[in-house]
Structure formats: C-alpha cells, structure tokens
Amino acid sequence: WEPKRFLKASYAVKMCKDYDELIKAMQSGMDIRPLTSDEVYAHLRDFGISQDLADGKIKRMSGGQKSRLVLAAAMWVKPHIIALDEPTNYLDNETLAELTAALKRFKGG
C-alpha cells in the first residue's frame, strides 16, 4: 500500500488514465490496425487526402475535404456495416463519383 500523494507524485494516476484510454481503444476496435504514420497516410490517401493535407490544420480544409476525413476516420476500423446521413454534402462531382463507386465495392470489414 502506498499513500495517495506518493502515487500522484509517481505518475500512477497518469499511468492509470493511459491504461484506461488503451482499454477504450481496444474495445472500440482502434487497436485492430497498426497506428503508424505510414499506415495512417496510406489510409488517408485512399480517401483522397494527401500527406500535406493530412499534416495541415482541419480548419483550413474545404467542406469536401472534411467530409472525406470524417469518412476515412469512420472506415479506419473496417466496419461490417456503415450508415451514412447525407454523405454527399460538400462533395464535388469527382469525389461524389468516387464515393458512389467505393460504396458499390464495399463488402464490409
């Protein structure tokens, strides 16, 4: 047994919070894929987001770029089913065609 002030001083509280975050990630499926920069950039490229764009600030993205980013984030865990609410908002014609084709190919995670 250790006094609480010792545990706080020894960063035990931070370690517990970090562990809790890890457990949440595991439960959500976020741990299924490796979280390396290369893996993330490759995934984002599949959604038309370049590395330069990915490294920038979200507030500087267009509405369509933000939509693609949100879709990329949702698809990270390779879901078995997806539900989209107005997925074509802010998309240009080229991106709309790509989304349509991708949804037709989607077979689930």
pLDDT tens profile 7-44: 667 777 777 788 788 777 777 766 666 678 998 999 99
Q: 101's torsion region: left (phi>0), alpha (psi -120 to 50) or beta? A: alpha
- pLDDT per position as a tens digit, 79-106: 888 888 888 888 889 888 888 888 888 8
pTM, entire model = 0.62
CA dihedral 48→38→109→76, nearest 10 degrees, is -70
